[in-house]
Amino acid sequence: MKEKTALITGVTGQDGSYLAELLLSMDYRVVGMVRRTSTINFDRLRHIQDNIEIVQGDLLDQSSMMDVVSQFQPDEVYNLAAQSFVPTSWQQPVLTGEFTALGVTRILEAIRHVRPSARFYQASSSEQFGKVVEVPQKETTPFYPRSPYGVAKVYGHWITVNYRESYDMFAVSGILFNHESPRRGLEFVTHKVTHAAARIKLGLQDELRVGNLDARRDWGFAGDYVRAMWLMLQQDNPDDYVIATGETHTVQELCEIAFARVGLDWKQYVVIDPRYVRPAEVDLLIGDPSKARSKLNWAPAVSFYDLVHMMVDSDLRELQDEIRYGWHQPKKSTDVMLDKTVTGSLVKTEPGTQK
């Protein structure tokens, strides 16, 4: 009999898979909520699928949330599900609000009615700081979101705080800065760049089209960040925390490091394409993680440089396997259009590979 049960929404996503691994390693019973799709997308979970329980539910559907909470009576609930890609939030602002904002209220309502003792984690975001009014950003920095996604996350943050204050629930908001890994969706800039560098090295692609090279982000490793989520739910009192590295880098630096890893000069391959420039940009994000360091004893283990190398190396290995085993099809990639055309994650994992 496992001591604790954790429910993870968004378990098929990047963070969901790392968090499920972490909780399994601590002997939790892990329940992963997935929405119904016509094709199963458990690529990131394949290696642990037999050890977790999968249940169907959707953030859009209140009764499914009630049923899931009632059936499993979780001790901890991690709400990681969201429409998480910023550009899509301009194309689908209402749906983004339904998933990313109101979805939080739906799950909080389910917990309040069915399992009020459960501890709740909300996946908040540095995108809430948007057009920053303070550098670096900390827990007390006012929000100024710059996209429908950021606006939806501000709602998710405040409804979490509100349920904590209104109903005395153990509900926390983790304001996480960008975190990446080989499991990151290919539409996000880190993985788009590392994957393209690997493809160009292998002669599968000629160029990489990107938007704003000057944007600055505080990028960390997802494996480090899910540990912070867990730590927040182990404290005596619920509170909100910024999780970040405290360093910031430009998209250009990302390109430099990724291409150098495969022995190429980024300037020869990277093309600016205005189609990837956003209607409103978040120019600079840099977090101050001192509260997490002192109260949670949390610190990131993987540097930006090592993170980029980890991602490039993983992409190279995976593409080489695809070529070796004949899985690889297109000579001319359509990847450059992914973040304009696709809303979901496009991590490619072949049977037998584990990232």
Catalytic residues: 125, 127, 149
CB of 338 to ligand NAP, least distance (A): 13
Q: Which listed residue (5, 89, 173, 345) binds ligand NAP by CB under 6 A?
A: 345
CB of 184 to ligand NAP, least distance (A): 7
CB of 175 to ligand NAP, least distance (A): 8
By beta-carbon proximity to ligand NAP, the closer residue of 14 and 147 is 14
| Contacting residues toward ligand F7E, per CB under 6 A | 84, 86, 125-127, 177-178, 187-190, 192, 210-212, 215, 217, 251, 276, 278, 281-282, 339
Q: Which listed residue (24, 54, 55, 60) binds ligand NAP by CB under 6 A?
A: 60
Give the range of 4-12, 251-259, 282-290, 291-299 binding ligand NAP by CB under 6 A.
4-12
Q: Which listed residue (5, 84, 96, 248) binds ligand NAP by CB under 6 A?
A: 84
CB of 236 to ligand F7E, least distance (A): 28
Residue 41 near ligand NAP by CB under 6 A: yes
Site string for ligand NAP, 169-198 (x = CB under 6 A): -------x-xx-----x-------------
Residue 59 near ligand NAP by CB under 6 A: yes
Residue 215 near ligand NAP by CB under 6 A: no
Residue 137 near ligand NAP by CB under 6 A: no
Three-state SS sequence of the chain: CCCCEEEEECCCCHHHHHHHHHHHHCCCEEEEEECCCCCCCCHHHHHHHHHCEEEECCCCCHHHHHHHHHHHCCCEEEECCCCCCHHHHHHCHHHHHHHHHHHHHHHHHHHHHHCCCCEEEEEEEHHHCCCCCCCCECCCCCCCCCCHHHHHHHHHHHHHHHHHHHHCCCEEEEEECCEECCCCCCCCHHHHHHHHHHHHHCCCCCCEEECCCCCEECCEEHHHHHHHHHHHCCCCCCCCEEECCCCCEEHHHHHHHHHHHCCCCHHHCEEECHHHCCCCCCCECCECCHHHHHHHCCCCCCCHHHHHHHHHHHHHHHHHHHHHCCCCCCCCCCHHHHHHHCCCCCCCCCCCCCC
Instruction: From the list ligand NAP, ligand F7E, none, pick the one residue 215 interacts with, judged by a Cβ distance below 5 to 8 Å according to partner type.
Output: ligand F7E
CB of 116 to ligand F7E, least distance (A): 28
